């Protein structure tokens, strides 16, 4: 089996479904590890840091090291590099990680992530006024929707960020997928040239499959998250491979990485 192709894997909707790992996640990750395949878990989740992801996997019996990165980690790195003071709107468990950068009275930028059911008109208007007053918009991700419980779809941060962009006339700086920076960073951290060919395993056509293909990679679509099976005939985005679950992905990888 070829070992020299970096594999990027989405966490939510692929490895984790709702609050639980997919039933075949252990088998899948153990396969990658035993075959010594270079893989990196990347996620647009703003509820977790990379340490949280690793702890979740360890708690569920994954006893080996896993490379992982979330948009939280990437956003913090961006703030460090650009020396920005910010207001932060995200999950309450994540907000303390930005403590050293927070300046709610006169922020240079507003960092926006997942607020779940906390989104209100008041919150949107508060963010809008800070942005309209001069603050930049930093979007940890711009996902349109997701499955917070693994079953029902719900609006995600991207829908609200787009409203703020429209009202303020400003475009956001995107940290997470489908930003090329996010993909290139993960590939580089695996020890490859950032523009190397790669595989992306994800559940979202627009955030996983399309950007991977545009960057010279190939996409494996898994129908356990944002994309329903079968794929609509009029879809403008077509994965290179598709699978109903991670067990099927093992078969695909065994075939294409021979």
DSSP H helices in the chain: 25-34, 50-59, 71-82, 121-132, 157-168, 180-189, 210-214, 246-256
Cα separation, 226 vs 249, whole angstroms:
17
What does the pLDDT read at residue 212?
A: 98
pLDDT above 90 covers a percentage of the chain that reads 83
Please write the tens of the pLDDT for every residue from 38-59: 999 999 888 889 999 999 999 9
CATH code given to domain 83-174: 3.40.50.1000
DSSP for 196-234, please give it: S--EEEES-IIIIIHHHHHTT-EEEEETTSSSPSSPPTT
β-bridge pairing 16-17 and 20-21: antiparallel
Cβ atoms 143, 156 nearer than 8 A? yes
pLDDT tops 90 at residue 1 = no
Helix axes 180-189, 71-82, angle to 10 degrees: 100
Check if 7-44+177-256 and 83-174 are the same fold: yes
pLDDT tops 90 at residue 74 = no
Mean pLDDT for the chain?
Answer: 94
The CB density around residue 157, as the number of other CB atoms within 10 Å, is 27
The beta-carbon contacts of 249-253 under 8 Å, at least 24 apart in sequence, are: 249/28, 249/201, 249/220, 249/222, 250/27, 250/28, 250/31, 252/220, 253/7, 253/31, 253/37, 253/199
> 155: part of which helix (H) or strand (E)?
strand 154-155
Cβ atoms 111, 138 nearer than 8 A? yes
Q: Would you tell me which CATH number, out of the four given (3.40.50.1000, 3.40.640.10, 3.50.50.60, 2.40.100.10), belongs to the domain 7-44+177-256?
A: 3.40.50.1000
Domain ranges (residues) in the chain: 7-44+177-256, 83-174
Query: What's this model's pTM, rounded to 2 decimal places?
Result: 0.83
Please write the tens of the pLDDT for every residue from 187-230: 988 999 999 999 999 999 999 999 999 999 999 999 999 999 99
Banded model confidence at residue 20, pLDDT cuts 50, 70, 90: very high
Please write the tens of the pLDDT for every residue from 166-177: 999 999 999 999
Q: What DSSP state is assigned to residue 12?
A: B
Please write the tens of the pLDDT for every residue from 93-132: 999 999 999 999 999 999 999 998 999 999 999 999 999 9
Cis omega (within 30 of 0) for bond into 230: yes
Quick check: helix, strand or coil at residue 146?
strand
Please write the tens of the pLDDT for every residue from 137-184: 999 999 898 888 777 889 999 999 999 999 999 999 999 999 998 999
């Amino acid at each position: 089996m070829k070992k020299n192709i970096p594999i990027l894997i989405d966490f939510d909707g692929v490895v984790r479904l709702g609050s639980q790992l997919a039933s075949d996640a252990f088998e899948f990750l153990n396969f990658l590890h035993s075959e010594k395949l270079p893989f990196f878990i990347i996620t647009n989740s703003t509820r977790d840091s990379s340490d949280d992801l690793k702890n979740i996997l360890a708690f569920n019996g994954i006893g080996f090291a896993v490379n992982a990165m979330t948009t939280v980690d990437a956003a913090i790195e961006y703030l460090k590099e650009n020396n920005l003071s910010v207001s932060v709107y995200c999950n309450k468990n994540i907000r303390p990680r930005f403590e050293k950068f927070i300046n709610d009275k006169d922020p240079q930028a507003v960092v926006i992530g997942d607020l779940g059911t906390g989104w209100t008109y008041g919150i949107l208007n508060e963010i809008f006024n800070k942005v309209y007053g001069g603050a930049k918009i930093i979007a940890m991700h711009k996902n349109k929707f997701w499955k917070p419980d693994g079953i029902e779809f719900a609006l995600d941060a991207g829908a609200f960020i787009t409203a703020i962009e429209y009202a303020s006339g400003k475009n956001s700086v995107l940290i997470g997928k489908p930003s090329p920076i996010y993909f290139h960073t993960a590939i580089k951290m695996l020890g490859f040239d950032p523009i190397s060919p790669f595989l992306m395993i994800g559940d979202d056509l627009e955030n996983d499959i399309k950007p991977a293909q545009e960057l010279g990679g190939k996409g494996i679509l898994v129908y356990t998250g944002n994309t329903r099976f079968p794929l609509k005939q009029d879809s403008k985005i077509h994965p290179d491979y598709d699978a109903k679950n991670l067990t099927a992905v093992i078969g695909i990888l065994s075939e294409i990485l021979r």
